[in-house]
A and B are shown apart, each in its own frame.
Chain A
């Protein structure tokens, strides 16, 4: 109803990340043809597009880990009407944010033969720590259905809606047998936002929390549940110091279980 005369310009950027959040765009095989009709992919390095800005809708994958990242994200923000953080790294800093909890110099020396060549910030953060962000799509990687809904909403001129229900609902809709109830596995699905289709529980692995905290996570109750299932404080700590370690709720819960830093 609010058809645009020109096609909106889409951009996809990568920062400190694995590139996995760009793949859902490329994996939208049938939809991608329709997408090309209605939207202009102006910048998407992985897909070979590299036109300069401005852009109407920019998706950013990756966290901000170094000076170069910080400079580039500010430029992307200036050039983009709508900026959306996609995936764990852009939203929360990613698995690599685990280094936020360790002294940087020690870490560099442990990993690199010439640590003096490594220049980076002491922490890796999500992009909202550096620029204002218009939308957040969690995931590791982001769900292509969420991307699709977001793009269509912008094209139709309506504000996108993103829901954060728990993974449990996805498990139930697939008729999975609950791992907590039936097998005593401390599955984080009760705390985690939906979007992956309950992928890991469908293969009998407890959820790892990739999509970050759901809308109203009951961390205290989950910690009690873990204890009842026989986990030690150390093991509970590690559950929250994992893929989405830098989401506030998970970060704070990890701190409640092991006051001292983990040995590397």
Chain B
């Protein structure tokens, strides 16, 4: 596969192989992809890639982690392309374009306490920021992760949530599910309600929120109630993305393109965008 084909043509993908597939839940798989030389390109936490499974199509996915020699994409099975992705095997070739988007403000958040609030598959993009903080633990203050899913079966990255992350210094992990279950003796509550119960201190804290739209909406309201200012709250937006490079207009919202100006926005900024979001 000649590399010339892709340089200077941002719409033609380069090829990666799937080197590992981890079943996180019944409908979420974490795909590890790499070229023969390792990672295809550097990715900042919160950035996105367009992943192609030819001949099915292409879709925009956030990178859940950039490891030494591969990139990880946690993908939930929700439709045409993701259904097909869930059927592939290790060794499958995929197309990849990127990295796109602005990524999380990892430098600006240094020195702050971090409050990560995630729902369902929303933990996937947050994970890249969380692991980044643990890599450079001393640069960040207290870290709290509040994560919820519909049920135990829907909780992803269970190993990290229950073993690795709680073991980190000055780190607290709160996990919850929506409804009681026989083998679960942890918290049962919706994420926004649990958030208000925990009442984290907004002092020198940045809240990073990602999850289903309704959870984000309610969590943002709760954060406001708890005294978080708009510029202390950041989230990522999802849109219908086709090109990833600001040419096809699909992700246009107000005067922004989610693929170029986002997907990470702080709340102060979001308030200026048209209300259909």
Contacts and interface: CB of A to CB of B under 8 A. Distances in A.
Are A and B in contact, CB atoms below 8 Å, in the complex?
yes
Interface in A153-176: 156-159, 161
Contacts of A33: none
Given A156-B56, A158-B56, A158-B57, A2 B80 contact: no
B77 to A, nearest CB: 12
Contacts of A159: 79-80, 83
SS of A interface (majority): loop
Interface stretch (B24-32, B84-92, B136-144, B148-156): B84-92
A182 interface: no
A157 B80 CA distance: 9
A213 to B, nearest CB: 23
A1 B55 contact: yes
Contacts, number: 25
Contacts of B57: 158
Contacts of B80: 158-159, 161
Interface in A221-254: none
Q: How large is the interface on B (under 10, 10 to 19, 20 to 34, 35 or more residues)?
A: 10 to 19
A80 to B, nearest CB: 20
Interface string A1-25: 1100000000000000000000000
Contacts of A2: 84, 87
Nearest to B94: A1
A2 B83 CA distance: 12
A232 to B, nearest CB: 40
Contacts of A1: 53-56, 84, 88, 92
A156 B80 CA distance: 11
Nearest to A161: B80
Interface in B122-179: none
Nearest to B54: A1
B79 A157 contact: no
A158 B57 CA distance: 9
Contacts of A158: 55-57, 80-81, 83-84
Interface in B34-69: 53-57
A258 to B, nearest CB: 38
Nearest to B80: A159
A224 B80 CA distance: 40
Contacts of A156: 55-56
B248 to A, nearest CB: 16
Nearest to A156: B55
Contacts of B92: 1
Contacts of B84: 1-2, 157-158
A204 B88 CA distance: 50
Nearest to B87: A2
A251 to B, nearest CB: 31
A120 B186 CA distance: 62
A156 B57 CA distance: 11
Count chain A CB atoms within 10 A of each CB in B53, B55, B79, B92 and give the residue with the most. Answer: B55
A143 to B, nearest CB: 21
A159 B78 CA distance: 12
A159 B56 CA distance: 9
Interface in B68-112: 79-81, 83-84, 87-88, 92
A219 B82 CA distance: 36
Interface of B: 53-57, 79-81, 83-84, 87-88, 92
19 contacts: A1-B53, A1-B54, A1-B55, A1-B56, A1-B88, A2-B84, A156-B56, A157-B56, A157-B84, A157-B87, A158-B55, A158-B56, A158-B80, A158-B81, A158-B83, A159-B79, A159-B80, A159-B83, A161-B80
Q: List the 3 closest A-B pairs by CB distance, nearest first.
A: A158-B56, A159-B80, A158-B84
Given A158-B56, A158-B81, 16 more contacts: A1-B53, A1-B54, A1-B56, A1-B88, A1-B92, A2-B84, A2-B87, A156-B56, A157-B87, A158-B55, A158-B57, A158-B80, A158-B83, A159-B79, A159-B80, A159-B83
